[in-house]
Amino acid sequence: MWQGLYEELKDRNFVVLAVALDSGGAASAGQWILAAKPTCPCLIDECHVVAELYGMVNVPSAVWIDEAGRIVRPTEVAGASDAFRTHMDRQTKQMSAGGLADRQRTRTVYLTALRDWTAKGAESVFALSGDEVRRRLSGPSEEHALAAAHFRLGEYLYAQGHREAALPYFSEARRLHPASWNYRRQTWELEEPGKAGGPAFWSAVDALGAQPYYPPVTL
């Protein structure tokens, strides 16, 4: 999706900068990047610094930044929907036709907005004013800052071979910032490979009830 969009729009001075949030680094995420053979820049953020700086709590998320380095649209869900919650078989990971159609509609709306911005710049109806960007932005709360500190310490201990010592810090990061699915998935995966997509994940998703996993984007 992003590689195709980059190839389509790169002549408009548009660049996709893809960032994988993965504590496993190149050993974990590198194979997927190499298999995709991207021509756009792809980075691996082992410490989730980008997520901390831009307030990203899930993937896929995106920030629109113009040529002057100004944020045009702050972090928001990038073309994903909650269709997987009701239209995906949890055992086979296969989506129903209805789920695929819903996902495609959501992607189309988002990518259409991006194309409009690359064509019209600040004149695009999807380019937010500075005041609106500031209204939507919010700095980290004290709890979220503490969650980041616990996550980093857990990562360090884990990387040094102190798995058991790292686990309480991972748990505390999840408790302090429960909205961060990035922390949940990453710490679950470090605790037990495969756990991030297993019962723990689905139990947390089901516990959302009517709350969205991917908050709808206002375009």
Taking residues 158-170, what's their average pLDDT? 97
Query: Given a cut of 90, is residue 121 above it in pLDDT?
Result: yes
CA pair distance 145, 52, nearest whole angstrom: 9
Is 90 exceeded by the pLDDT of residue 215?
A: yes
pTM assigned to the model: 0.91
| Tens digits of residue pLDDT in 69-120 | 999 999 999 999 999 999 999 999 999 999 999 999 999 999 999 999 999 9
Residue 1: pLDDT over 90: no
Closest CA to 59 of 185, 203, 204: 185
Q: Return the residue matching tokens 């045009």.
A: 72
Q: Give the residue among 29, 49, 24 at the shortest CA–CA distance from 186.
A: 24
List, in order, residues 6 or more apart from 13 with CB less than 8 Å away.
Answer: 67, 118
Structure tokens at 174: 């999840």
